Structures are given as structure tokens and as C-alpha cells.
């Protein structure tokens, strides 16, 4: 299995164990138009081609590190960065669930899914 796929699968495992109590305001299937990794490992910024809740298309969305310790948070951010860069470079759709407050993403999937 290649490294990007391992990272993408790892993010699913990490996401299941973190922020389970968070509620999302919206879920959207979209294309990634930009990925900004300059604030990693604390926050990852990206843009989508579609409105998400009250967040307009092409605005900055943020994803904060998830995990119980520093190492887990770093792996979580690396996996999500790989996932978003893969989607950007291949044109694949992502499914993002997030909150209107500050346009934050909580859950990131590569591809769209029927349910989660």
C-alpha cells in the first residue's frame, strides 16, 4: 500500500477516536481548490469550490489537529494534509463536515460517501 493511501486510511482511524461529541452544521461534497500547510501541525487551511453552510466557496476553511497527545495530532494533520493534497492534485471529490463558526472542518473524507 502506498504512503498516501496509508495516511488517508490512518486519518479515518484517528478521526473515529476524536471529537466524537462535536456536532457539525453542514456536510458538503466538493473539490479542493487550495491547500495551505504553513501553520502545521496546529492548523491546516484549505479552500473548496462549493459553499458549505454559511461559508462561501473559495474562502479559507480550517482543520485543527485532533488527538489525545502531540504525536497523534501530528499524524492526524499529516494524514489530512495528504488527503487534501491528493484530492487537489487528482481532482477527486472530498466530503467535509464542519461548522459555520470560523468555517472549521471536523471530518474529512476522500471521495463522497452515502453515509457516515
Q: Where are the domains of the chain?
A: 3-110
C-alpha to C-alpha distance for 111 and 91, rounded to whole angstroms: 10
pLDDT above 90 (res 115): no
Residue 5 DSSP SS3: helix
Whole-number pLDDT of residue 111: 82
C-alpha to C-alpha distance for 35 and 70, rounded to whole angstroms: 22
Q: pTM for the whole thing?
A: 0.76
**Model confidence over 87-101: pLDDT tens digits?**
999 999 999 999 998
By C-alpha distance, which of 97, 63, 98 is closest to 81?
Answer: 63
Whole-number pLDDT of residue 18: 42
Whole-number pLDDT of residue 91: 95
CATH number at 3-110: 2.40.50
Cβ atoms 15, 66 nearer than 8 A: yes
Average model confidence (pLDDT) across the chain: 83
pLDDT above 80 (res 10): no
Instruction: Please give the angle made by the CA atoms of 83, 24 and 80, to the nearest 5 degrees.
Output: 15
How, if at all, do strands 61-64 and 26-36 pair?
A: unpaired
pLDDT above 50 (res 64): yes
Kindly indicate the confidence band of residue 13, based on its pLDDT and cuts at 50, 70 and 90.
very low
Amino acid at each position: 500500500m502506498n504512503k498516501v493511501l496509508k495516511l488517508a486510511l490512518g486519518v479515518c482511524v484517528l478521526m473515529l477516536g476524536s471529537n466524537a461529541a462535536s456536532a457539525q452544521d453542514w456536510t458538503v461534497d466538493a473539490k479542493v481548490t487550495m491547500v495551505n500547510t504553513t501553520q502545521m501541525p496546529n492548523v491546516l487551511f484549505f479552500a473548496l469550490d462549493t459553499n458549505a453552510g454559511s461559508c462561501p466557496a473559495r474562502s479559507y476553511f480550517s482543520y485543527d489537529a485532533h488527538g489525545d497527545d502531540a504525536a497523534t495530532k501530528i499524524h492526524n494533520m499529516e494524514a489530512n494534509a495528504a488527503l487534501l493534497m491528493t484530492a487537489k492534485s487528482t481532482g477527486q471529490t472530498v466530503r467535509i463536515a464542519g461548522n459555520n463558526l470560523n468555517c472549521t472542518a471536523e471530518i474529512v473524507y476522500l471521495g463522497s460517501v452515502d453515509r457516515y
